[in-house]
Amino acid sequence: MAKSMTRPVSWLSLAGAVAAVWGASAGAASAAQPTPWAMWFQEPASPIMDMINRFGTGITIAMVAIVILVLALLIYVMVRFNAKANPTPSKTSHNTMIEVVWTVAPILILIAIAVPSFSLLFAQQDPGRVIKDYDPAKVLTVKATGLQWYWNYEYPDNGGVAFDSTMLTDDQRTDPANQPRLLAVDNEMIVPVGTVVRMQVIGQDVIHSFTVPAFGFKIDAVPGRLNETWFLAEREGVYYGQCSELCGINHAFMPIAIRVVKPEQFKAWVETAKTDLPGAYKSLMASIKTDGPKVAEAESNVDVAVR
């Protein structure tokens, strides 16, 4: 399986590592689907989302530090130079040192933010920047087409397997505990754990947006334009997303469900799906139930280095 190699993300990585450790304690459940009253990103399930999480945390810490510094300076000025403490104010119109500091400091801060930001942007387009020994020949391609108001998935590398994925209504949810309302679908997108997946996204009627927070990607589905991104799922489970571009009256009912399974389970599923899609899902779910609860906690052989 592929191994990821997260490149340096400057000092922001060190700050973000604090949140990474805290987030890991949240458990696997928060990674698979949204958590009520959650106040931060979902637990990362891909190398890119891990980088986004740490970068975002680092930026937040930097902003908090700047706010505290500015607030402290304001309080100091109000106390030190008020009319009572300073009845005879000085008339200062120029200070070279202060002007240099307040010009250079923001420039350095912006550079410190820009360097890891561009590194992250490039990594989102090039798996070779993140995955050790990346082999394009082993990439799985999945094409997602947005329609009003459902998704169509196609596996061009696997015999052209294609199917629609539509949200389950309340009366169609036979297992509410494992079929979240407004997120569960009839046919999930299936991918193997630890494999680079190339997502090709396009719209057929209006603009949609294919977004899965746990994998760290949001890509527009534009009619007549094929957009592309990639992800590598590090853990098995079901990960949910939604259309993130207003696309009509039923925009809110266009969820995305990606089930990550073992490579051998994916291989068996895709072979059966070529001729019998319902049977493929039935066999896959039976295989998952046979594996028991360990499936949801299983991890791929992905080595993510925090640097």
Sequence-separated (6 or more) residues with CB below 8 Å from residue 265 = 192, 284, 287, 288
Q: How far apart are CA 9 and CA 244, in angstroms?
A: 28
pLDDT of residue 154: 98
More confidently predicted of 5 and 227: 227
Mean pLDDT over the full length of the chain: 86
Which of the two residues, 301 and 153, has the higher pLDDT score? Answer: 153
Tokens of 90: 């000085």
Q: What is the pLDDT of residues 129-158, one digit of tens each?
A: 999 889 999 999 999 999 999 999 999 999
pLDDT of residue 3: 52
| Residue 10 pLDDT exceeds 70 | no
Q: Where are the domains of the chain?
A: 3-129, 135-297
Alpha carbon 261 to its chain centroid, in Å, reads: 18
**Arch. (CATH architecture) of 3-129:** Orthogonal Bundle (1.10)
Is CATH 2.60.40.420 the right assignment for the domain spanning 135-297?
yes
- Residue 91 in this model has a pLDDT that exceeds 50: yes
The DSSP code for 138 is: G
Residue range 53-75: mean pLDDT, rounded: 95
Contacts of 7 (CB under 8 A, 6+ apart): 119, 123, 129, 130, 307
Which of the two residues, 5 and 48, has the higher pLDDT score? 48
- Please name the helix (run of DSSP H) or strand (run of DSSP E) that holds residue 66, with its range, or none: helix 47-80
Paired tokens of 198 = 């190339």
Question: Between β-strands 255-261 and 237-243, what pairing exists: parallel, antiparallel or unpaired?
Answer: antiparallel
Residue 268 pLDDT class (50, 70, 90 cuts): very high
3-state secondary structure of 98: helix
User: Measuring CA to CA, how many Å separate 69 from each of 63, 199, 278?
Assistant: 10, 43, 60
Q: What digits encode the pLDDT tens for the residues 206-253?
A: 999 999 999 999 999 999 999 999 999 999 999 999 999 999 999 999
pTM for the model stands at 0.80
pLDDT tens digits, one per residue of 162-177: 999 999 999 999 999 8
Percentage of residues in the chain having pLDDT higher than 70 = 84
Instruction: Please tell me what DSSP assigns to residue 36.
Output: T
Contact 112, 10 (CB under 8 A): yes
Least confident of 3-7, 43-47, 132-136: 3-7
Contacts of 188 (CB under 8 A, 6+ apart): 165, 238, 257, 258, 259, 281
CA dist., res. 102 & res. 98, Å (int): 6
Who has greater pLDDT, 93 or 23?
93
Per-residue confidence (pLDDT) for residue 15, from 0 to 100: 46
Q: How confident is the model at residue 2 (pLDDT cuts 50, 70, 90)?
A: low
The SS3 of residue 13 is: helix
Question: Residue 85 has what pLDDT?
Answer: 82
